[in-house]
């Protein structure tokens, strides 16, 4: 995942160093028992094998203010199929942040904060999306 971030694969989530540091402070104050609502927008194979069974599911948190910098959220899906992972793209889930880090994007001077997720649960009732 780090290589993809450094290559600038997610340009809409890149931010200044100051914004990245502020986001890290905000994420540091979140407790693991307070899940976030996440929408997954893509997936990436963990390897280049024809029958890959491990994927990164990548997304962003759903927030009320669209003007704030957002972290790249991701979780590993093991022992699954591409079709099963694809079914999760575009859906809402709650998940807890396990760890996060500030990543430098190539030589652009930009940063991207990534957060690894745990305890992913699909939201089946729209009233669960309020945080």
pLDDT at 17 over 90: yes
pLDDT at 80 over 90: yes
Specify the pLDDT at position 5: 87
Mean pLDDT score across all residues of the chain? 88
Which CATH number does the domain housing residue 92 bear? 2.40.50
Whether 131 maps to a domain, the answer reads no
User: pTM for the full model?
Assistant: 0.84
Whether 48 maps to a domain, the answer reads yes
Task: For the chain, give the percent of residues with pLDDT over 70.
Answer: 94
CA angle 112, 52, 105 (to 5 degrees): 15
Whether 107 maps to a domain, the answer reads yes
CA angle 123, 51, 71 (to 5 degrees): 40
Q: Which residues of 5-19 are buried (b: 16+ CB within 10 A; e: fewer)?
A: beeebbeebbbeeee
Domain region containing 49:
2-121
Query: For residue range 92-123, what is the model confidence (pLDDT) as tens digits?
Result: 999 999 889 999 998 888 999 999 999 899 99
Whether 126 maps to a domain, the answer reads no
How many structural domains does the chain have?
1
Can you tell me whether residue 56 is helix, strand or coil? strand
Query: For residue range 26-37, what is the model confidence (pLDDT) as tens digits?
Result: 888 876 678 899
Whether 65 maps to a domain, the answer reads yes
Whether 106 maps to a domain, the answer reads yes
């Amino acid at each position: 995942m780090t290589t993809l971030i450094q290559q600038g694969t997610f340009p809409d989530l890149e931010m200044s160093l100051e914004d990245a540091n502020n986001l890290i402070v905000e994420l540091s104050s979140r407790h693991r028992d307070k899940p976030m609502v996440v929408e997954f927008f893509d997936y990436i194979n963990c390897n280049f094998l024809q029958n890959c069974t491990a994927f990164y599911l990548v997304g962003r948190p759903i927030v009320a203010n669209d003007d704030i910098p957002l972290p790249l959220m991701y979780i590993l899906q093991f022992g699954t199929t591409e079709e099963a992972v694809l079914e999760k793209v575009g859906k809402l889930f709650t998940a807890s942040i396990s760890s996060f880090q500030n990543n430098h994007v190539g030589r652009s001077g930009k940063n991207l904060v990534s957060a690894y997720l745990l305890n992913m649960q699909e939201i089946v009732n729209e009233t669960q999306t309020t945080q």
